[in-house]
Structure 1
């Protein structure tokens, strides 16, 4: 009896162990410990196979190299042609099953773009941009579109953006619909859309911040092609094709089943002739007369946001406010609500981009201010600010030290050097109310000079000291205490600056002979190798430019086609079919050395 009971216990133990083992296999969990896994899962096989034809089933089963899980499948998956009901997904072991909830169309190629929805179980590494295709008929759509996505301002490749195709000609579709086809750009900005059917498409690119495949956020960057495009077959280029006269030709031959045909479709169908096409075909492979395999360049940009917003309002010094806006303001007004002011109660200055304004209040009534801020007549915010910054906390047992406020300035000297063709500038922290010109002393050796001095702006923030600097001469500028007085009554501390005028022997000269592509307004910029702007010139015709007194370093040359003549680069607008203003770069870096003179020819294209 006891033996039988023990046997029953043993059998029960074996059954329980087997059930636990089966449950563990069916419900894998991420292991803990060990080195971090950065390898995404791989598809080992699928039923049917990827890009198969004559599919008649109701499900696809994919087997992976490891256990996987699904992440945001409902938003990541894009199916073309679209399905009325999304597929149902299930995981069992290393298999993912996609079951269709409706009959599929006959003789149609289906594309499934999974985005980053399939991840491994251990570290959630995504199988990025995985796509699966099959045809319910005997033919798989085999047309393609390829191209490159570049940043419109600096022509750098854009990585990880979506390039989308729509089978609608309406401009509003990127705002309202998910794309019919899509691909993601590579590290080099290249993209390829495969398995396309023969039709005309609207092409749009998007940096999709919220992951819904629609252009619905003002901070998302976009690109668009000016006209409808048509995919082509990227066929086999067969040399030694013999024409009817027995002469060797170089034609594009397309093999479909057992039939050889020559591709002759025209691939460019313009929506409108009113707009210049700056998202153009590049690196096209011309394989025979009238036959082109195109590659499209699209320019990626952020539209100007029309929803203005005050990002930040702060007190940078006593009685000095700084307002930072989302984008350049048009007509800014600000009204003190409490206390009330009359007349010219404030002095204001915009920065170069007009997205930041500094407000000086020379005679504040109180230590606080309630300020209403409006742009173009629309009230954006009401600020309640203290006009005196909080004092820094002193060490324990010590009283907080209150230093007398001073008017400060900075000179335009770099490494105690000045270019002979430049003036010396002083930029002040606050508008200057008065100054004593007789206190300013400029010497060469011990000889007192009489430079031309004066303010460059109506606010009296920028002060100029002009002199015919001689190469190699050493100068001394002395500005005694209280030479300048601000609108707040603050005065400067004494300061002295020793500097030398640069010589040609310790600098370089760059001459550029410029040939423009078309007449118009161009901004020619000299940049350092980090693309920081150093100098710029405006030209409107072929010309020669010289950049002198350059330090030894690498330089870039950039041209902006200033179409509207406003002196700056302007972004694009999708609904107005306006591409960003074109930019061009000289084809190489210019490496300057001291005492060098370099001359280059630049055909801007």
Structure 2
């Protein structure tokens, strides 16, 4: 056989190139596609120091896992109890997490590290459960434990991410180390079920608190009116482990009441406080001027402000007045201030708005009359009473109202319709109010742009429901409340053991009982400064679904014996 010597070298070259590509393909490896998703969290295989070890004097903590890991929000998730002095730096190298501390641990102290969701696997972010480490810088591990739950006093629901803290109690320095001036000695955060556990506690006497703060603004110190807190009236002597150390938290008004400033802002004179004002009184001092200052100036309360409106906006004027202001817990400020209006270069835009309460087309609860109010964004200077025509739908004529049919509040931002009207349950016979656009003129001389036509009917009994039951237990003085899905109190009864709530709107409800232990006719929420706890509150643990024309019976609440 004759070989073609020209073709053979080319064949060898082609074979060599193919072989090289084959080797390259073998050397290049990639993750296989498809397959089962990794759902197994990392497993902790060793720690430095060892869990439950004693006499530790290092400045570094090391955790090794069985797979590569990473951290997520470690500064938020990692709980170190007791609190450490200084800070730490965390580093991750494949399957190892290292924490390096810039200050030494305290002597003869047991530390607990709870990592929460701060450590996850590298690929799928699976979270290992209950990664904890405990060690002591002394010759023994403190082993006492307290557990319990944190819930809302007024709603009854369990709260997640609430802090429960222990503060060492010293009779001679009872107020030196407390929740309103420093972090706790030991602490724990609640889980999604409102449960907490504080471990490795040293035997001793402690003040115990529960605190609810915004997670992104947590500082472990009770210093804001918006925070919820619960506490025990007496310190807790911890000699053995305890369970059932439960807390019900509530909001207190802890800020001192202060006047922040008083000055003209645009066309208004503004008095500002550091928190909401509950009530006020003003007595003008006549300095010889022939003026009626009760109508010349219109003070309006708006949360933490008292705003004065000048009826004659372009007129400079001033008057001194004795003023008294009260906050929600009875703190009072008495002062003399001069309300002064000067030239207004650029008035602040402030639209004039109006709303009715209840809203038009809202059926009025059976057995109740029409309690209609109009609420305005500015004080009303004048009202044309005869510009409102009342009557019933289908009537050919109506009647004009008079001043006797209406009543203003003290700062003329609200007016009530006080004429008695008998409503019909039929929409075709609805009670109507026709209001012209120029009926109301504000203190700034603006008026409503559009006419309004309001309609009201009486609700039918078949559109409402009933809840009935009994209050059991040792207390004779209490307030029963029906709470709607938005947390609003819909109806109340007092000191009636066999209760019956009628004419309730359909929807989700619950029943709450406020216990009046001191029999003063009201519920008292305690005092944080005096460390007196609130009177008891019991909320029905289950939600009720009330339907129209339906009665839920035997909804009983036991107040205990």
The interval holding the TM-score normalised by the smaller chain is 0.5 to 0.7
1:461 aligns to 2:415 (yes or no):
yes
Give the 5 Å matches for 1:97-176. 110-113=110-113, 131-135=132-136, 140-169=141-170, 170-174=174-178, 175-176=180-181
Distance 1:476 1:555 in 2: 30
Q: 1:131 to 1:544 in 2, by over 3 A?
A: same
1:583 aligns to 2:530 (yes or no):
no
Q: Which residue of 2 aligns with 1:257?
A: none
Q: Which residue of 2 aligns with 1:21?
A: none
Quote how far apart the aligned CAs of 1:560 are: 3.1
2:491 aligned to which of 523, 536, 541: 536
1:187 aligned to which of 189, 192, 204: 192
**TM-align CA RMSD:** 5.4
Deviates more, 1:68-77 or 1:589-598: 68-77
1:389-408 C-alpha deviation (Å, 9 max, x unpaired): 5569xxxxxxxxxxxx9884
Q: Structure 1 length normalisation: TM-score?
A: 0.62
Q: Which residue of 2 aligns with 1:441?
A: 390
List gaps (5 residues or longer) in structure 1.
Answer: 1-37, 235-292, 393-404
1:527 aligned to which of 475, 483, 494: 483
Distance 1:387 1:502 in 2: 52
Contact 1:313 1:383 in 2 (8 A): no
Contact 1:304 1:571 in 2 (8 A): no
Quote how far apart the aligned CAs of 1:427 are: 0.7
Distance 1:63 1:438 in 2: 80
Quote how far apart the aligned CAs of 1:490 are: 6.2
Q: 1:406 to 1:78 in 2, by over 3 A?
A: closer
Q: Which residue of 2 aligns with 1:279?
A: none
Contact 1:431 1:461 in 2 (8 A): no
Contact 1:321 1:360 in 2 (8 A): no
Distance 1:593 1:478 in 2: 32
Distance 1:110 1:314 in 2: 56
Give the 5 Å matches for 1:537-576. 537=492, 539-542=494-497, 544-548=499-503, 550-561=504-515, 571-576=525-530
Quote how far apart the aligned CAs of 1:92 are: 8.0
Q: Which residue of 2 aligns with 1:518?
A: 475
Q: Which residue of 1 aligns with 2:62?
A: 62
List gaps (5 residues or longer) in structure 2.
Answer: 1-38, 326-332
Give the 5 Å matches for 1:273-288. none
Quote how far apart the aligned CAs of 1:562 are: 5.7
1:598 aligns to 2:544 (yes or no):
no
1:314-359 C-alpha deviation (Å, 9 max, x unpaired): 99998798978623346576999xxx987323233547xx656564
Q: 1:478 to 1:415 in 2, by over 3 A?
A: closer
Give the 5 Å matches for 1:188-267. 188-207=193-212, 212-217=219-224, 219-231=226-238
Q: How many residues align?
A: 485
Distance 1:487 1:95 in 2: 67
Q: 1:600 to 1:143 in 2, by over 3 A?
A: same
Quote how far apart the aligned CAs of 1:152 are: 2.8
Distance 2:272 2:51 in 1: 57
Distance 1:128 1:357 in 2: 54
Distance 2:337 2:520 in 1: 27
Quote how far apart the aligned CAs of 1:216 are: 4.6
Deviates more, 1:438-447 or 1:156-165: 438-447
Distance 2:440 2:227 in 1: 47
* SS at 1:63 equivalent: strand
Quote how far apart the aligned CAs of 1:69 are: 7.9
Contact 1:413 1:424 in 2 (8 A): no
Contact 1:349 1:359 in 2 (8 A): yes
1:304 aligns to 2:258 (yes or no):
no
Contact 1:113 1:182 in 2 (8 A): no
Contact 2:46 2:63 in 1 (8 A): yes
1:475 aligned to which of 430, 433, 436: 430
Deviates more, 1:415-424 or 1:296-305: 415-424
1:152-201 C-alpha deviation (Å, 9 max, x unpaired): 33222222222111232424412444432211111222101122233332
1:427 aligns to 2:428 (yes or no):
no
Quote how far apart the aligned CAs of 1:528 are: 1.9
Q: Structure 2 length normalisation: TM-score?
A: 0.66
Quote how far apart the aligned CAs of 1:506 are: 2.9
Quote how far apart the aligned CAs of 1:151 are: 2.3
Q: 1:482 to 1:118 in 2, by over 3 A?
A: closer
* SS at 1:505 equivalent: helix
Distance 2:142 2:246 in 1: 24
Contact 2:86 2:101 in 1 (8 A): no
1:229-252 C-alpha deviation (Å, 9 max, x unpaired): 244766xxxxxxxxxxxxxxxxxx
1:508-528 C-alpha deviation (Å, 9 max, x unpaired): 333454457523352x33332
Quote how far apart the aligned CAs of 1:64 are: 3.9
Contact 1:440 1:483 in 2 (8 A): no
Quote how far apart the aligned CAs of 1:425 are: 0.8
Q: Which residue of 2 aligns with 1:505?
A: 462
Q: Which residue of 1 aligns with 2:98?
A: 96
Distance 2:521 2:346 in 1: 38
* SS at 1:111 equivalent: strand
Q: 1:348 to 1:600 in 2, by over 3 A?
A: farther
Quote how far apart the aligned CAs of 1:86 are: 6.3
Distance 2:316 2:417 in 1: 30
1:410 aligns to 2:346 (yes or no):
no
